[in-house]
Chains A and B, each alone.
Chain A
Amino acid sequence: MTTDRMISLAPVDLAIIVLYFLMVLGIGFYLRKFAQSGEDFFLAGREMTAWVAGLSFLSANLGSLELLGWAGASYQYGILAAHWYWVGAIPAMLFLGIVMMPFYYISKTHSVPGYLQLRYGPAASGLSAISFALMTILMSGVNMYAMAVIMKVVLGWNIHFSIWVSSLTVGIYVASGGLFSAIFNEVLQFFLIWFGALLIPILGLIETHGWDGLVARIKSNFPGQDFTHAWSTLGSAQDNPMGMHWTGIVFGLGAIISMGYWTTDFLVVQRVLAAKDLRSAKLAPIIGSFFKMAVPLIVIVPGLIGLAVLPEHLVPQGSAIAGQHTYDEVLPLMMARYMGPGLLGLGITALVAGFMAGMAGNVSAFATVWTYDLYRPFMRKSAPDAHYVSMGRWCTIIGLIISIGAAYLAMGFTSIMDYVQALFSFFIAPLFGTVILGMLWKRTTAAGGFAGLFAGTLSSIGMFLIVKFNPEALALIAMSTHAKAMAEDMYRALWSWLICVLVTVVVSLMTKPKPASELEGLVYGVTAIPSEGHVPLTQKPIFWAGVAAALFVVLQYIFW
């Protein structure tokens, strides 16, 4: 262990961390006896309430990579980073709950590639399953590596120690309890993250004498720059620190990236598929949306407090010299500023839980996609259920071992997150085009679905490579030479989605569609949506979706 660290832990902090590890291992062993059938292991028995599924759905996306990265982004870009929690999430979560969930749920699929298998056949399903499997393993490895680096910088822990202890723990509890374990741990993580991080904005706003004091201090520390308005600086890419025009936020982020992520990324959708009935499945993302709107309080506000109270100016990753801190270290710096023994242990445990839940979510999704969408349809079509459960358990372990390899590989890159973001725009944006057309337009054909997905993915990778080799092409793709990596991702996603939709429509019109009788339960217009029964207005998903939408609009007005 090295003594070069940002924070020193007291015995009570270590006790809190050790207690967490013991608790998740104990829960994993306890849940093992309940995860015996395929539906139990891969879909947590489809018996989660709307609240459990909703919190797990949100937590699967609230990992520590997100917390540290977006707190750093809010130090760098100001409140613009909150768009990833508001316009970049809320409309998509409500759309998933109200419009898309019935089709996923009624089709009784295990996964998003599983839905594509039913709607388009094996070609489109296989392509998306392979890209999901790759993405989940890479993300799990990146989570592992990021955790090890943070533990080294913040606490001085050895990188290899962090990687192996965390993977061993995740391996044991996911291989034991499957999605049950992953969901239980995500709910624990949800509470840990809120209770571990909420003190920072509370104490920070006390120190700055409220929001007005915070804004005044930022203006005085960074004269001439606007970090506290979410929309009014987006009229021109030159007027904001992100180099973003409002069209990139509304169409690239709000309409494509976010819709793609929240409605077709299997990692999050799998949590909602575990709900006990259709009404719970529809309510789960709506419940998640309320908490999602509040997450900027514990992620974005600490970054803004950093801008206001830190005596030093943080610098970008890669350009820090000895003694300087980077943007991504703003959250640990805030923890060290306000939290003493005990509270610090809680904050660090929240980060560790977030990283481990990120790994667990990815490996459990990998195990499902591999077993149900690659192994079963392409390698062994009919085997007893127990065989697939055993395959799922082994895949969890194998997935983790490959993730460890990916983590060590990630050490070789200086900007691995850029590549991860790029991967998302390669696969998720076109996939959204394929899924949404398949659900809403019965004329879409198997050939159209595959051709659109393939063309969209290929064009996204092509645009990425063109800008890599000829940076001047950025002006064409992102519509501004001021665009930063984030803005480039948004526009690349938008174009690849449009290409996917265009190719799908053209090829579908040229090929023979499936008869309507084969599309029942899969496509809007030929599917009878089961009634939610006679429940009071306050128990209807559509009512709460309306409340969430209204709250979302009010937030945009307040921080305009």
Chain B
Amino acid sequence: MSEKHHIIPVWFFVGVMLLAYGILILISGLSEWSNPPNTVLANLHAPVWWGGLLTIIGAAYVLSFRPK
């Protein structure tokens, strides 16, 4: 992003944020697998696949845009 300043690209920070949130949500979803919260469609275990998706996207961004 920056030619003049050599700032770490914003996409790296996006990746770190998504990766951290993905891991937290995935762990939270797995821990409540057998005792899901009292929400509609809890049987779909949305935190597990949504947390997994965030983890994958976050990791991809971190790897692609990590400071050299």
Contact B25 A191 (CB under 8 A): no
Return the CB mask of A339-361 against B: 1 if under 8 Å, else 0: 11111011000000000000000
Partner of B2, one of A45, A338, A339, A346: A45
Chain B binding surface, main DSSP class: helix
Residues of chain B lying within 8 A (CB to CB) of residue A45: 2, 4-5
Contact B40 A207 (CB under 8 A): yes
Q: Indicate if A184 sits at the interface (CB-CB under 8 A).
A: yes
Contact A34 B7 (CB under 8 A): yes
Partner of B29, one of A34, A40, A342: A342
Q: Indicate if A15 sits at the interface (CB-CB under 8 A).
A: yes
Contact B20 A52 (CB under 8 A): no
A93 to chain B, nearest CB (A): 21
Q: In the bound complex, how far is the Cα of B42 from the Cα of A199, in angstroms?
A: 12
Q: Most chain-B Cβ atoms within 10 A of its Cβ — which of A15, A20, A199, A343?
A: A343
Residues of chain B lying within 8 A (CB to CB) of residue A519: none
User: CB within 8 Å of A: which of B29-45?
Assistant: 29, 32, 36-37, 39-42, 44
Q: In the bound complex, how far is the Cα of B39 from the Cα of A338, in angstroms?
A: 5
Return the CB mask of B39-60 against A: 1 if under 8 Å, else 0: 1111010110011001000000
B62 to chain A, nearest CB (A): 13
Q: Indicate if A558 sits at the interface (CB-CB under 8 A).
A: no
B44 to chain A, nearest CB (A): 7
How many contacting A-B pairs (Cβ < 8 A)?
101
Residues of chain B lying within 8 A (CB to CB) of residue A52: 1, 10
What is the size, in residues, of chain A's interface with B at 8 Å between Cβ atoms? 41
Given contacts A19-B20, A199-B46, A340-B47, contact A47 B2 (CB under 8 A): yes
Given contacts A187-B10, A341-B32, A343-B46, contact A203 B40 (CB under 8 A): yes
Residues of chain B lying within 8 A (CB to CB) of residue A30: 8
Q: How large is the interface on B (under 10, 10 to 19, 20 to 34, 35 or more residues)?
A: 20 to 34
Contact A16 B46 (CB under 8 A): no
Given contacts A45-B4, A337-B39, contact A342 B13 (CB under 8 A): no
Nearest B residue to A334, CB-CB: B40
Partner of A203, one of B25, B46, B51: B46
Residues of chain B lying within 8 A (CB to CB) of residue A537: none
Nearest B residue to A202, CB-CB: B46
A433 to chain B, nearest CB (A): 36
Q: In the bound complex, how far is the Cα of B18 from the Cα of A20, in angstroms?
A: 11
Contact A342 B47 (CB under 8 A): yes
Residues of chain A lying within 8 A (CB to CB) of residue B2: 34, 45, 47
Q: In the bound complex, how far is the Cα of B29 from the Cα of A480, in angstroms?
A: 53
Contact A343 B47 (CB under 8 A): yes
Q: In the bound complex, how far is the Cα of B51 from the Cα of A352, in angstroms?
A: 20
Return the CB mask of B19-30 against A: 1 if under 8 Å, else 0: 011001101110
Q: In the bound complex, how far is the Cα of B35 from the Cα of A119, in angstroms?
A: 66
Contact B17 A191 (CB under 8 A): yes
Partner of B18, one of A184, A191, A199, A207: A191
User: CB within 8 Å of B: which of A273-328?
Assistant: 276, 309
Partner of B1, one of A23, A40, A48, A337: A48
B14 to chain A, nearest CB (A): 5
Q: Most chain-B Cβ atoms within 10 A of its Cβ — which of A20, A34, A45, A191?
A: A191
Q: In the bound complex, how far is the Cα of B36 from the Cα of A23, in angstroms?
A: 30
Residues of chain B lying within 8 A (CB to CB) of residue A188: 10, 13-14, 17
Given contacts A47-B4, A342-B47, contact A195 B18 (CB under 8 A): yes
Given contacts A15-B24, A49-B1, A341-B28, contact A195 B54 (CB under 8 A): yes
Contact A203 B41 (CB under 8 A): yes
Contact A346 B4 (CB under 8 A): no
Q: Indicate if A250 sits at the interface (CB-CB under 8 A).
A: no
Partner of A346, one of B14, B21, B40, B41: B21
Residues of chain A lying within 8 A (CB to CB) of residue B13: 23, 27, 184, 188
A521 to chain B, nearest CB (A): 23
Partner of B28, one of A19, A276, A338, A342: A342
B23 to chain A, nearest CB (A): 10
Nearest B residue to A195, CB-CB: B54
Q: In the bound complex, how far is the Cα of B67 from the Cα of A54, in angstroms?
A: 23
Q: Indicate if A206 sits at the interface (CB-CB under 8 A).
A: yes
Q: In the bound complex, how far is the Cα of B25 from the Cα of A207, in angstroms?
A: 22
Q: Indicate if A31 sits at the interface (CB-CB under 8 A).
A: yes
Return the CB mask of A405-436 against B: 1 if under 8 Å, else 0: 00000000000000000000000000000000
Contact A207 B41 (CB under 8 A): yes
Q: In the bound complex, how far is the Cα of B54 from the Cα of A339, in angstroms?
A: 16
Closest 8 CB pairs of A and B: A340-B37, A342-B28, A342-B25, A12-B28, A187-B10, A34-B5, A342-B47, A340-B39
Which B residues form the contact surface with A (CB < 8 A)? 1-5, 7-8, 10, 13-14, 16-18, 20-21, 24-25, 27-29, 32, 36-37, 39-42, 44, 46-47, 50-51, 54
Given contacts A183-B10, A339-B46, 11 further A-B pairs with CB under 8 A are A16-B24, A23-B17, A34-B2, A40-B5, A52-B1, A187-B14, A191-B14, A276-B3, A337-B39, A342-B51, A343-B46
A-B contact pairs, 6 of them (CB 8 A): A23-B16, A27-B13, A45-B2, A199-B46, A340-B29, A342-B51
